[in-house]
Amino acid sequence: MKKFIFGLIATVMFGFVGNAQKSVKLVDIKGLEMAIIIDLQKNNSFSEFYLFQYNDLDFSKLITANNVTLVQASLDNIILKNDSEVLSFSILGKNNEFNKFIGYGISKRNGKFKLINYENPKEAMDLILSNNQVHRTAAITCHSGGVGSTECSATPSDLNVGAASCSVHCGTGYHSCCNDTVGECKCKPNPK
């Protein structure tokens, strides 16, 4: 009976994702952001990833873990499982039973991407080739979002059909910024 109850609780908690868990590759720019790349192929291509923006956290142990899988993901919370633990990455700040890391932004991107080598990356997007072009995101123009907005999304414009689509959700003290031209969504600090 105890095994049945535990199994039922685990099934509800993880939403029947036993077969749906996807392998992930983590790319961390220490003290800034971590890309959670889903189903990286042997040729380093992929079509979906999340970006977790944070301050002052250390993921060096997690980055070297084997068999990291995505359990659940939304623009509020990402749950990963590695060899020995379940980890939660959130912008909400609520406590739960998992090892929880609180950041200020979560975004999701869909498109055609490739993981590349780049010396001294300043952000995760320095390591990701999108639509066969590297694009810098530090000075993006906000076509949607902006100060006072915590969420926005971008879809490729008619001028840049191959750009990625993206959505972002930002925590307290930050605002969303989405650029349709390059398919970029990030959180930026609110002005003081």
Residue 13: pLDDT band (50, 70, 90) is very low
E strands, the chain, where? 22-29, 33-38, 45-53, 69-73, 77-81, 86-90, 99-102, 105-115, 128-130, 144-145, 151-154, 165-170, 174-179, 184-189
pLDDT for 182? 77
| pLDDT tens digits along 162-182 | 667 899 999 999 999 998 877
Across the chain, which distance is largest between two alpha carbons, in Å?
Answer: 60
pLDDT for 126? 84
User: Phi and psi of 3, rounded to 5°?
Assistant: -65, -40
| pLDDT tens digits along 58-116 | 888 888 887 899 999 999 999 999 877 899 999 987 655 667 899 999 999 998 899 98
Output 136 or 157, whichever has higher pLDDT: 157
> Could you tell me the two tokens for 13?
């908690």
| pLDDT tens digits along 178-191 | 988 778 899 999 99
CA–CA gap between residue 106 and residue 155 (Å, rounded): 17
pLDDT at 9 over 70: no
pLDDT at 19 over 50: no
